[in-house]
Amino acid sequence: MADSRSFAIGLSLSAALALSACATPAQMHSEDQLNAVALGCGLALGELIQDEAQKKLLLLVHNNPSTRQRVCIYEWARKNGLKAVFVNMDVPS
């Protein structure tokens, strides 16, 4: 009886810990941090934006980013608990 109770308590604690990890709010990154990431991935200043209303979204606004650039942004976003969103935008000259 004691073994099954210990198992149930351990399982409950594990489930609570797993759920609390999912509920961690996204951190807002500064413009300087995002610009450093953008430059490191071969992009221009200001092309990487974190949405204040939806903090988990990391937006890349760039016309036809290369595969390498996409992977670079995706990996950084994932490492920081964000979802990368790629927006192709033609800017008129």
Give residue 42's pLDDT. 96
pLDDT tens-digit map of 45-87? 999 999 889 999 999 998 889 999 999 999 999 999 999 999 8
Give residue 9's pLDDT. 57
pLDDT tens-digit map of 4-47? 555 555 545 455 555 545 555 678 999 999 999 999 999 999 99
Please enumerate, as own/partner, the contacts of 57-61 that have beta carbons within 8 Å and a separation of 24 or more.
Answer: 57/82, 57/83, 57/85, 58/82, 58/83, 58/84, 58/85, 59/85, 59/87, 60/84, 60/85, 60/86, 60/87, 61/87, 61/89
